[in-house]
Each structure stands twice: as C-alpha cells, then as structure tokens.
Structure 1
Amino acid sequence: MRLFYRIICTLLLLSAATGSQAQWLADSLRNIISQQQLPLEKRIDATDRLGQVVFFNKGWKEGLQILRSSLAMAAPMKDGQYRAHTYGMMAASYYITGDTEAASRCLDSARYYIRRSRSGLMKGYVLYMQGWLESRGHKETEAIHTLQQALDILEKEPDGLKYMQSVYSELAGVYFRWYDLVNVEKYTRLSLDAANKIRTLDKLISANQERGSYFVNVYRHDTTRKTALDSGLAYMRYSLHIARSNRQRLITPSDIPFSAIGIASVFAENLPATAASKDSIDYYNHIALEEGRQTRQYVVEAGVYNSLASTAFNRGDYDEAIAYLHNAITTSLQDPLYDKFNLSQSYLGLAEAYENKRDTAMALFNYKQYMDTYRELFDVEKMNKAKDLEARYEMARKEKALLEVRLLATQRNRELIQARYLSGQKDKALLEARYAAIVKDNALLDAKYAAELQQKALTSANFRTTQREQELKAMGERFSYNRKLNKIYSALTIALFLAAAFLYYAFQQRSRALRQKQQLHELELDKINQAHRMTVLSAMLEGQEQERTRLARDLHDGLGGLLSGVKIELSAIHTPETTTPQQAVVSKTLHHLDSAVDELRRIARSMMPEVLLTYGLGEATKEYCSGLRKSGIPVSCQVYHYRNDMSHTRQVTLYRIMQELLNNAVKHAAATQILVQLQQRDDRIFLVVEDDGRGFDTAQLQALKGAGLANIQSRVDMLQGTLEVESAAGTGSTFTIECAVN
C-alpha cells in the first residue's frame, strides 16, 4: 500500500521528459490550432490540451505560458466557462509545481468566472478541481463533500461522464488513504465503468491501475483470497498493456515505467520466491528500467537498480551489488527533485556490501552518507507530519465550533417550539368555549323543532295506526311466502356454485399435471440430446486422437524404418574417399534422406508428442512453446502447481486447445508477445493464452467463429469446462479455459 502511494505521489510531482511520443502529440495539437477555420471554442480547448501535454512532457514554465495564452484567447467571450476551465487546469499545474498560493488564486478565479456561465458541465468541473486541491491539502472531509456536489451536478449533464470518471477516481484516492475498502471498491468500480464508456486512454490506464490496487489491498487484508491477487495483477497488467500499445497517444509517457515497477513490487511482496515469480519480477523490472531511461523517470530507474542490487547481495555477489548501487546513486542525483528515500537506501546497501567485503573505510563513508540523507528525509517527513497534525487540529476545532453552533440552534428551536405550544393551548381553549356555545344554541333550536313535529304527528297518529294494522297482516303473509322461496333459491345457488368450483378445480389440477408432464418430457429429451451430443463429440475427438496416434506410429515405425533402411543401403555403396559424380549424387541423396527423416519425426511428434505421453501436459506445453521460440515466435510459458494427476484423454484435449490458440495467435493476430500460462488449483485446471495482437470485438464473437474457434469450443464442452474471451480491437486477446482435473 505504501509503495503504491509512493509511486502515485511521485507520478504527480515529477514531469516526464520530452520524447518522440509527446512531441508527436504536441505537433498534432499545434496543427489543429493552426487551422484558420477552426471555431474559437475548439481552438481554446486544443490550446488547453497542448498546455497540459507540454507541462507534463517538456517543461512547467512553457506549459503554464500556453495556458495563459488560452486565457487571452477566451477574454473576449462573454461565457465564463472557457476561462473557468483554463483556470482550473492552471490551479492543478501550480499545485504540482509546489506553488500552493498561485493554485488557490487560480481556483478563486475559476469560481468567479463560472458564476458568469450557465454551463452545468463546467460548474461540476470547477467543483471537482476544488475537491482535488482540498484532498491534497489534508481536508478529506471537505473534499468528499465538494466532490459529491460535483457528482450531483454532473449526473444531470449529457456529457458529464468524462468528468464524473475523474471525480470517482479522486473519491477512491481519498478512501484509499482512510483504508475504507468498501468505498474504495465502489468508486474504483464506478471509475472503471466510466472509463470504459468514454474510452479515453489516460483514464483507462489510471482506472485499471486503481482497480488493480484495490484487489491487491483486499488480498493483503485477507491473504486467503488468492483470486483477489490474481484480479489485481490482471487489471495492472492490462493497464501496462494498453499504455505500451498506445505509446504515441500518451500525455504522460511515464505511465509505462510506473505501471511496470508497480507490478514487479506486487510479485516481490505477495508471491512466493519461485523461479516463475523471479522471471516475472525480472521481466517487469526490465520494462521499468528501459522505459524509465527513455522517459527520464529517475526514481523508477533508481528503484530498479536498488532491487537488482538487493538480489545480488542476497546471493553473495557483493561486487555486482556495489555496481548496481552506484548506478542507482548516479541516477537519483540526475533528478533535481530526487527521491531521498531511494538515495538513502542506496547508501545503506553500499555500506553493508563494503562491510561484507571487509572494506571498513568505504563502509563507514557510506554509512555517513546514509545518515545525512536519512536525516534530511526525516526532517522533511517530520515537517509534513507537523503540517498534517496542524491541519487535523484545525479541522477538529472547526468541527467543535460547528457542534456548538448546532447545539445553540437546537436550544433556540426548542424554546420556540415550547412558546408555540403554549400559544396553541390557549387558542384551543378559546375554540372549545366557542364550540360549546354554538352547540347549546343548536340544541335549543332542535328542541323547538321537535315540539312542533310532535304536535303534527299526534293529529295523524290515530288514522295511521288502524291503516298500519291491516297492512301488517298482508305483509306478514307475503313475507312468510317469500322466505320459503328464498330458502329454495339459496340452496340451489349454493349447490350450483359448489359444482362449478369442483369442476374448475379438477380442470386446473389436470392442466397442471399435463403441463408438468410435458415439461418433464422436454427436460428428459434435452438431457438425452445433450448426452448424445457429448457422446458423439467424445467419440469423434477420441477417434481423431486415435487416428493421429496410429498415423504417428505408422509414420515413425513404417515410413521411418523404410527411409532408414534406404539410407543404410545407400551408405553401403558410399565411399567418402572418392569424388565421382555417382558418389556426389549418393551423398546428396543421403542428405535429403536425413532431412526427410527429421521432418517425418517432427510430424509424428506434432501428431502425438512423446513428452505428453511420458511426462504429462505440463512438460509437453513447455516443450511446444520452446519449439516455437526456436523458430522465432515470441512465446513465454509459465506452469504453476501442475501435479499431472489428470487423465490422459483430458490432457490430450487440453493440449490440442493450447495448440489451436497458439496457431491462431501466430497466423491471425500478428502478435509480438504471446503468454501461455498453465495452472492447477486443487481440482481445477486453468489454461490462459494471451497475446498483444490486433484483437477483435467480442460482441461479434459468434460471427467471427471459424473452424478453429468452433473446434476449441467443442473440446471445452467435452471437458465440461468454460471458455472466457477478453479482447478489443487493437488491444490483444486473452483466452481463459477452466475445467476440472477429472
């Protein structure tokens, strides 16, 4: 974790050297700016990008001067978004140079001009730059609040994704420092998703590096999660791959050496010291060293020399270690902002090497150099810690004052609520009194109205009483008759409803049973068809392998023996002492027979390798890759933990898959590097074939499937395994096959 942040911080504080790649990108932008018909908005945007390229590759002063010229071009424009964008870039640039006051002034100018614009996209960008500076000023809480405000604005903008990716990346960096892996996972995932959508090169590189660092930290937190380490290395390797594949388009070419040394450190710190791990460390250190020299990234070059010196020291080669350490010191001192930590470690290594060589004088001299350098480093770190503590104290004091203000506001709110409650109680009592008076008045009116109604009712009561007696008798007879009819109708209705319900339930049960039976029948047919397909496929592949074995045996035993017999017969009449024309023809024929026998053996060995039959899949894979390397094909082979407990038939099938993938990479992908990796974990086998060729769109994989990919998929199906394909146009391809041992 510390090494990762050391690399990231150094990348932000060091500028890359000018190279052909940066010069090509700068020239392209200058050609765009020189176009006469180019709109002013696009000219300003291209000038801003040119200033960024020059700043990181040629020089800080020249880059800032180009950004100032962009401000001059934007001065006549009423919309302040263009000057706000340039001032935001200048704020970050000044901070990288160490001028925090100028960075703060530029940010204030950006905030001023963005108030003169309606662009929500640029308002989100200015808030992002404010959060960027707050994060680096040890104001993580304020930075998170500001960056969340930026996200709220950018989410509403159609083109907000390009800045949202930067905001996600910055939030991930803040939570990295707090070691909050839950939020780190969230924001690195969102950052990578956004980078994959906008397809911007520098964002793809940084997003994959951050995602890989997250998985490496997950493994460091719980070393039982081996898949997390594999995922971390995969993301970091992919970041290095796309950086190297698009070298001319890089704004900061130093991305390549920093990515390489980061991968080498992961191998060194987290994997066992096996021969394969050492090869990987040497491979990525070599990339870091070569790229560091090209881009003048002295901290990377010095770090690699220190690593090589440590390896030589551990095996007892003190002279070689001293030579590497002198190279590291010379490289570090070439940098005006050299890394004192690497330099102190170089002096310490020299002192220990000279001490083991019994050279006391040189050991003492280098120990003094180490102490002087370490004292300077300690003073700088102590000052940084003091600033950090002061910032944290100031943050705590502000939070305390904020809590006091909130407490006072809460008390005032309580008093206001209590006063409102007492006033409400008085109003309620007054309303209740008014309501009681109204109720009394209504009661008096109701009493008067009731008395009048009673008087009218008494006059007609006698007449109605006699009439009602007669009507009640007639109604009683009708009610008794209707009651009987209603009972009959109710009984019939209930019976019909029960019969209908029973019929519906029986129909539903029968329909369900028929559907279940039909589904079971279809499942059984599918199972039978699948078993039949697997049987046919297995028989076909087994027949192919048997035919290959028979042909190889017949070629070797039959035709090979015949050719050897012809050679022996011709050798009997061949006398080296004579040089007659007939002897020259015989000698030439013997030479052709030797070539034919060698070619026959090669064909027989390709059809059924003896190494595969004798020593198993691991050694056969190594021998096949070695043969390709001898023929000039750049193939690397790595075999991990293979125990050779797989059945012969499955080994042959997996071997044919590997052959087909390598043939495809050589014939169709135009690859310059091919990696073959065979690994066994418990009862699972993993075969990975990766190349840096032209690649293809995986969304069109079905349309691209020819006979080769179809054969591969058929063999994977026979192994009851899975095939995963990762590729994109111009970024190479990765084929991963996973299956059980038996």
Structure 2
Amino acid sequence: MYRIILTITFLTATVCARAQLLADSLRNIIVRKDLPLEMRIDATDRLGQVVFFNTGWKEGLDILRESIQLAAPMKDGSYRAHTYGMMAASYFISGDTEAAYKHFDSATYYIRHSNSKLMKGYVLYMKGWLQVRSRQETDAIKTLQEALEVLEKAPGGLTYIQAVYSEIAGVYFKWYDLVNVEKYTRLSLNAANQLHILEKLISANQERGGYFINLYRENTERKEALDSALFYMRKSLHLARANRERLVTPSNIPFSAIGIANIFRENMPATAANKDSVDYYNNIALQEGKLTKQFAVEAGVYNELASEAARRGDYQSAVNYLNGAILVSAKDPLFDKYNLSQSHLGLAECYEQLKDTAQALHNYKQYMTLYQELFDVEKMNKAKDLEAKYEMARKEKDLLQMRLIAEQRNKDLIQARYISGQKDQALLAAKYAASLQEKALLNAKYETELKQQALSTANYKTSQREQELKVMSERFTYNRKLNKIYSVLTIALFLAAAFLYFAFKQRSKALRQKQQLHNMELDKIKQEHRISMLSAMLEGQEQERTRLARDLHDGLGGLLSGVKIELSALNAPETTSPQQKIVHKTLRHLDNAVDELRRIARSMMPEVLLTYGLGEATREYCNGLKKSGVPVTCQVYHYRNEMNHGRQVTLYRIMQELVNNAVKHAGATQILVQLQQSDHRIFLTVEDDGKGFDQSEMAALKGAGLANIQSRTEMLQGTLEVTSSPGTGASFTVECAVN
C-alpha cells in the first residue's frame, strides 16, 4: 500500500510538472512584444485549454475571458467566435449547460461578422458537438454534414474536418450502424495521420479500436477484428504515455487503459496471464483517473475490483470498493447513472450476503430509482434513433428518385441520337447498295475464273483430305485414351475433396452445437437471476403493502373510530340546532372515511386472501367492484386452495391489474373474471366486451401495467395468452402450475 501511495504521489507530481511546463512555455510565447495580435490570441486560447484540463476549470475559463478581451479590437469576429466556442465546450464539460449555450450564442453572433469559412465551419462543428451531448443526434448529423461542406472549401479545414468525422462516428456508434462507423472512423484516422496532431491521433486510434471490438461482438468468429481492436487501443495508450508532456487532455491515458482492460476481461479466455493484463491496465486507469479527475473511469475500476472481490467471497472488501465508487461518482457533475446504479446493485447483493437486510433494501431502492431514470432516457433515445433512421431513409429515397430522373433524361437523349443515327445509316445503305451492284458484275467475271481454277485444284485437295482424315483418326484415338486417364484422376480428386469437405462440415456442426448449448446455459442462468431478483422485489412490495394495510387499519382506523365515538357523545337526537347538524354531517364524513380506509387496507392486502385463499379473495374483490357500479361477473371452479401464499398473492395482483385495465381503458359494459383449477394447473381468465385493440400493435401498447403482468407471469413460470381485435373486446388468460 505504501509503495502504491508513493507511485501515485510521484505520478501526480510528474503530471503537474509536465502540465506546468507546457503552460509556462505558452506564457513565454504570449509575453513576447513582437508577437502579432492574432498569434497572441491563438496562444492564449491554447493556454486556457491546457490550464482547464490540467490545473482547474475556473483558471482555464478566466484565461479564455482574457483572450476575449484581447480580440475585442479586432474587426474580424472569427477570433471571438473561436474563443466563445471553446468556452461553450468548457462550460458544458463542467456541467453548466445554460452557460454553455449562452456562450455558443455569442459565437454564432460574432461569426456573422466574419468571412472566414474555416471559423464558420468550426462554429457549425461546435453546434453539432453540443447537440450530440444534448441527445439531439438527428439534428447533430445534419449540422455536422453542413460543417463538412463548409470546411472542405476552406483552406486548412482538415483540422476541424477530422473532429467532425470523429463526432459523426460517435453518433453512429450510439445507433450501432457499423457500416457508417467503419467509414467515419477510417476517415478520422486518415485525417489524423495527415495532421500529425497528438490528441487527434490518440482519439482516432481509440475510435478505430472501438469499431473493431463492436465488429467482433457482432461475430465472435472474426478473431482478426479482436486483434485489430487490441492493436489500435494499445497504440493510443502508447502514444499518450510516450508523449505525456505534450498532452493537452491527459485523460486520454485512463480512457485507453480501461478500454484495453475491458477487451481482455470481456473477450479473452479467463487465464492467469489475461487476468494479470486486466489488473495491470485497471491499475493504470485507476491511477491516471485519479490524476486527471476522470471520475467515471475511477468509479468503473472500483466496480470491477468489487466484482472480483465478491467472486472471491470477500464481501466486506467489495462493500468498501463500491462505497468508493459511489463517493467518486458524487464528485462528477456529469456522473454516469449506469455506473452508479451498478454500484448500488452490487452493494445490495453484498449486504444480502452479509445479512444486513436494512442496507440491502436501501441500496435496492436506490438501484431501482436509477434504473427507472435510465429506462425512461433509453426510451426517449430509441424514439430519436428511429426518427433519425427514418430521416436518412427518406433522404436516400429522394436521392434515388433524382438519379432515376437523370437516367430517364439520359435515356431520352440516347434514343434521339439513335434515331438520327438510323437516318444516316439508311443513306449510307443506299450508297452501299449502288456500289454492290457495280461489284456484282466484276464478281461474276472473277467467279468464272475462280471456278476454272477450282476445278484444277479439286483433285489435289481430294488426295490431301484423305491423308488429313487418316491423321485425324489416329489423333482422335490418342486423345480418347488421354481423356479416360484425366477422367479417372478428376474423379479421384473430387472424391478426396468431398471427403475433406464432409469432415470439415461435421466438425463445424459439432462446434456450433457446442456453442449453442453454451449459449442456452447462459440464457438459463440469466433468466433464473432475473426471476430471483423480480421475486425479491415483489416480495418486498407485498411485505410493505401488508405493513401499510396493518398500520392504516390499526392506527388510523382506530383513531377515526375514537373520534366518531367522542362526537357521538355530543349527538343529542332531540335537538336540531345548527351545531347539531354539523355534528351529524361530521359523523357521516367519518363513516365514509372509515369505509374508504377499510377499502384501501383490503385492496393493499385483503384479509380474505390471507385467511380463505385466492378463490374467496377473488369473489370478494369482484363483489366489491359490483357494489361500486362496475359490471363484474366472478366464476370460481374446482379451486382447492393448494397454492402457497406467495403464488396466490402474485396471481391476485395479476387479476387486480387486468380488471383495473379493463375498467380504465376498455370502456366495457361487462367484465368476466374466471378462476379454474384442473389437476395441478391454475387458469385465470379476464374477459371484457370493450373496444379491444390490434394484437399486431401490442408491443407499442405495452405500458407499465402490461409489463408488470408479464413479469409476474414469468415469476410464476406460467404463460400469458392475449386474444383481442378492435371492437370485439379482449381476453387475457394466465396459466401456471399450482406450486
């Protein structure tokens, strides 16, 4: 431990010293009196960037404000537009979104007072950069394509073109569009190689490595893709560590290190050598993350160390690591909710193993809250992704239509030229026919002479042909023997190839079957884990409902009954004074409140379900709804009350949810609830004659209610059958085993 502390202290001092060296070098350039104002502004911008990423956010922003003041006398607004763009990005990184967009508006204003295409392209690039990080990927793609069109026409635009390629590749990474990811990561790396700028080379190699690891995950038989991913990620780490003193953003080191660690952990065999590699790169990521304040990287490493400790059975160490991850995440203004949710989930599981149920329940609740937030964001992002893909498809359709129109025009032009050529050809044919008639006379004379010569040579050719036929007969016999030999060799080679191919196919089939069995085992383990988590969550909910029902009935119910008794003492039947009327009215309200309280308590955990079982609870629930005006019919057949209490509660909740959906959404005039037991199988059917729905659109209709029903059915290891069509009502049937 002491040696690790010394190492981190030494690295901290080294990084700070190198960052300070770069900052001092830029300050020496700025104070030169002979330095032109344009170069002074550019050096000040770079100094602000170096200080922001290495020393402190506030100091870096102060230097960028000094650059704005230096550029104030300049008529060309491009200098202030550039600095305001850098400030917008800096504020966004520091978590102040409002200030980021305010400074970007200033950049947009000043670029209007400039003719620089380079800076106009840069401002468009910054707009796309902000849109990507504000979850506006569709608009970001449009903006970044506009930036490319401007920058390609601007001298020196390659610097920002590379950054635009990188941003577009990032968007397609989110959409998992590997074709476009390959295109733009390749363009980004080519541009970075031409520029020879260190930060751009590092980020371009990281992106290229990310593309290849996703390509490998799509098809794990592409081992060359995994090797390429490891090559590019190691190259980015080597570039960053070998040129640490030149780095403006030293956070590239921990990002590359944790990327390599993830490749070894997720995609390599679990050998001792690979585990050492994971520990080595995780250690680099943890040390460099602390130095560069990359809290997300540091929290991710702590989560991985906790997972390793839990697998070893050292749950106390795992709790310490996970608490460290949560503390680190709290320091990050843009903290990763997914990492934080996994930290709380790991803590809950560890506390369960340590028998600390209070802490386990607290962390499970924190995990569920973060999971719900992530789920809502994911739904919104998927909608945006679909919108973006639709927009791209529409543009491709318009482009194809334009090409079709152009091809039709070319076809018309070719046809016109063809008609003109036919006319010219007819004229030439007439001239050619006249010349043929003249030639025919000459040919007649010439043919007469030829016939005489042919007669003299006919005899000679006859004898020559007899000799040729003899030679051909001998050659044919030889070729036929040679063909037989070739045929035998060909058949032998074909049989050998067929045997090898059959052996190869059998081996491939065996390997595929083995992989399929492995995948089936993994799916089974995941399903069992999901069911156990869902069972624990639902059991906690039911316990909480039981406690609340008991507290409401024993506490608040008793209190209301006491108030009613005290007010009843004031009730004199022979008097009708105004005060007495108020007492009567208050007593009626108390009766209503007590009835409502009992209804709520029975709904949360009906006593009939606990005492008499699911059949009687279902009848009582339907009778209560019928009394309140809901048209419900209940039928219970052959139910023997053999289910354990937990499964009865789960099936009761499914019935409640289905009836509530029919009442709220179906517009039904009649609802049928049927509970039936056949041998060791239970059938629960809820039917209504409401408006129904199209089953082909059921996936789009699945809200929280249907999702809960499906989850509870899976927990019972049962099946949910849905039958419905528009205008004919709906029928839901749940089938499961008794125990």
| TM-score where L is the length of structure 1 | 0.48
| TM-score where L is the length of structure 2 | 0.49
